[in-house]
Structure 1
Amino acid sequence: METGPHPGSPRPGGAPAAPQGPHPGRPAFGRGDLRPVRARPWLDLTSAEPAVPRDERRTAAGKSPAAPPLTEAELRLARLVCEGAGNQEAAARLFLSVKTVEARLTRIHQKLGVRSRARLAAALRHS
């Protein structure tokens, strides 16, 4: 068998040719193919489990351990919502779009580890 640049032919030095993928001239590499190209450190990183499972990354209060404080804009919105304003009313009073209000409320809920407006109000009262 000749050695040459054609797909599937052996490479000089006896190394086998890379498996061919769906696109001609491009090798098909899957996760199991990382060992032959000496990518052991990458393989170790991709197969390792996280040090702390995702569920256990929250503290007993439900907050992330290093939750950043609310920004002034988030605090203004949170106070309006706790006073009973709906998303549309809060958007109008703060000169924002409803989508922006929704996005900020999502961030506020994540930062404080709450899932409802009632819990948000309780969290603000305790802070």
Structure 2
Amino acid sequence: MKIARSFFLSILFSVSLFALKAQTTTGTPRLQLTTAQVDKINKVNNDLKEDLQKISPNLSPENRAKSINEAVQKKEDAMKKILTVDQYKIYRSGMEEQARKFKDKLSERSKQMQNSGKN
């Protein structure tokens, strides 16, 4: 179960990178980002990507999850400094929606795999 949770966290944060990148390009009107904010967020995205890539796959699931959480917390701290309070609320709402959609897709695929195994 812990391995599945760690895997889910890894995938979720990969999706969050994609979602954040989409928000900074296609979501600019929604967040009303300045050019300076977009530049800073792109740097945060790149830093998070590098931090996640540095995490060893040989770590235990617990240590891997801890490292992922630390990298994501670092990103969240940076985002709070870059965005206004209202922008951050919109950003978090978008990220939570992306996470829900991704979790729903994983759940649906899991059910499909279970059902195909019964045939």
User: Fold-level match, TM-score > 0.5?
Assistant: no
- Structure 1 or 2, whichever has the larger Rg, is 1
TM-score band, normalised by shorter chain:
under 0.3
What TM-score does the superposition give when structure 1 sets the normalisation length? Answer: 0.22
Q: Which has the higher contact order (CA 8 A, sep 6+)?
A: 2
Report which of the two has the higher share of helix: 2
What TM-score does the superposition give when structure 2 sets the normalisation length? Answer: 0.24
